[in-house]
Amino acid sequence: MFHLECIGCHEKFGGEKVIYVCERCGDLLDVKYDYLELESKLRSKEWEKQPLSVWKYKDFLPILDLSKVVSLGEGGTRLYECSRLGRRLGVKKLYVKNEGDNPTGSFKDRGMTVGVTKALEYGRKAVLCASTGNTSASLAAYAAKAGLRCVVVVPSKKIARGKLVQAVAYGAQLIPVKGGFDDALKIVLKLSQARKDLYLLNSINPYRIEGQKTLAYEIADGLRGRPPDKVFIPVGNAGNISALWKGFKEYRRLNLIDSLPQTIGIQAVGAAPIAEAVKSGSETVKPKSHPETVATAIRIGSPVSWKKALQAIWESRGTAETVTDGEIMEAQRMLASQEGLFVEPASASTIAGLKKLVEEGVVGRDEEVVCIATGHGLKDPDTPLKFSEKAEEVEAEVEAVEKAIGVLR
Ligand SMILES: Cc1ncc(COP(=O)(O)O)c(C=O)c1O
């Protein structure tokens, strides 16, 4: 059994009706379980033999009717050991969890498989989100699979083309607004209160976080029950860092691991309200009105889950760091050229953050680190092309191409 609980006033709610925030004080909600019951369910050990996937962890998820599950085969993403890049950056062991392996190419699919299943359980006919791109791509795909209508509200500028084309192809109704993600989110939050036919699937929806927490379970299981010392994760609206920490804490509570990793949130310099709060030791986050970065997925000034993110960082004795756009693009090139992993700029921010924190001595050279690559590089083909040298055109002749190759060193 499960219930919803407010993270502020701790008021409890059953899951019978749709609510997104606490009806008493307006704070964020968490899904809580009867952990004794869960422990006894897990005792059979059968579940442990299943291959990694979101639904391997069905007993940890708040689904009442498993016949309604909407799945495209999400989770089970690869955890790459990146020894060459690890050596170059100066850490003992570096792994990259490649969430680009998910069906629509980002971690959002973990949340949407659970969230869209809840939409069906609640009998909703349409789903809604605001998005910097990946949320809309993912929601559109799962809505298509479920036979639901899908409305996505996106910034009219600076949305990566790879993400936009996905939402369109999956048949979502795309509504571009003259503003950024923060404006779009405000609109859908209001709409979801007024329109009971629409089910909101931004990460304020606590059920979406439940799907995303399986990322932590998979890291722990992928490393045979030994979590790393530190996990680096990009932070935008702050849902994923909250989900990651919830997952690790639950695994610890159920004695499936015996230590917890430190959670390190990475933000771009121009969109860093959480990193700024962490650095100044503040208990609240000051929204930033004009966030700016090439990593459009994390171009967010007013993160809705800031409270859960700060909790994840403080409780885990982690930290947050900022990286410049130049550092992000350099990290994207490094990961691709050293390890054959092409990730989108927001994902590469974790590698840039790791480099910086090793140089500053915050990450020890004997530590094991996992960086979360949240989305596939092909999501945003334009940004790396803009940052790289344009190849010069030559005549279509062997001599001309050979001359262009030059002497290989
Ligand atoms: C690729 C990618 N990385 C990171 C993030 C940030 O995740 P969150 O908003 O949960 O902090 C997003 C969100 O859109 C994303 O698409």
Q: What is the pLDDT of residues 325-344, one digit of tens each?
A: 999 999 999 999 999 999 99
- CATH at 286: 3.40.50.1100
Residue 87 lies in a domain: yes
Q: Are strands 12-13 and 2-6 parallel, antiparallel or unpaired?
A: antiparallel
pTM to 2 decimals? 0.97
Mutate to test the pocket of ligand 1, among 106, 246, 306, 341 (most ligand atoms within 8 A of CB): 106
Residue 158 lies in a domain: no
Is residue 116 within 8 A of residue 146, CB to CB? The reply is yes
Residue 280 lies in a domain: yes
Report pLDDT for 398.
98
Residue 261 lies in a domain: yes
Residue 276 alpha carbon to ligand 1 centre in Å: 18
Residue nearest to atom 15 of ligand 1 (CA): 297
Residue 131 alpha carbon to ligand 1 centre in Å: 10
Residue 409, class by beta-carbon neighbours within 10 Å (0-12 exposed, 13-18 middle, 19+ buried)? exposed
Distance CA 388, CA 101 (A): 25
Q: Ligand 1 pocket by C-beta < 6 Å: which residues?
A: 106, 132, 134-135, 203, 234-241, 297-298, 344, 346-347, 374-375
Residue 30 lies in a domain: no
Distance CA 388, CA 366 (A): 34
Distance CA 127, CA 142 (A): 10
pLDDT one-digit tens code per residue, 96-151: 999 999 999 999 999 999 999 999 999 999 999 999 999 999 999 999 999 999 99
Distance CA 387, CA 295 (A): 12
Helix 306-315 and helix 239-253, axial crossing angle in degrees, nearest 10: 50
The neighbouring-strand residues paired with 135 are none
Distance CA 147, CA 125 (A): 8
* Closest ligand 1 atom, residue 106 Cα: 1
Is residue 58 within 8 A of residue 50, CB to CB? The reply is no
Residue 219 lies in a domain: yes
Residue 340 lies in a domain: yes
Number of domains making up the chain: 1
Residue 183 alpha carbon to ligand 1 centre in Å: 17
Q: Is residue 409 pLDDT above 90, yes or no?
A: no
If you average pLDDT over residues 374-401, what whole number do you get? 95
Report pLDDT for 27.
98
pLDDT one-digit tens code per residue, 224-259: 999 999 999 999 999 999 999 999 999 999 999 999
Beta strands in 297-360 (DSSP E): 319-323
Single-letter code of the amino acid located at 88: R
* Closest ligand 1 atom, residue 163 Cα: 16
Residue 199 lies in a domain: no
**Domain extent for 241:** 79-105+208-387
Contacts 24+ apart (CB under 8 A), 76-80: 76/51, 76/52, 76/101, 76/218, 77/52, 77/101, 77/102, 77/218, 79/218, 79/219, 79/222, 79/223, 79/370, 80/339, 80/341
Query: How crowded is residue 94: how many other Cβ atoms within 10 Å of its Cβ?
Result: 27
Report pLDDT for 44.
86
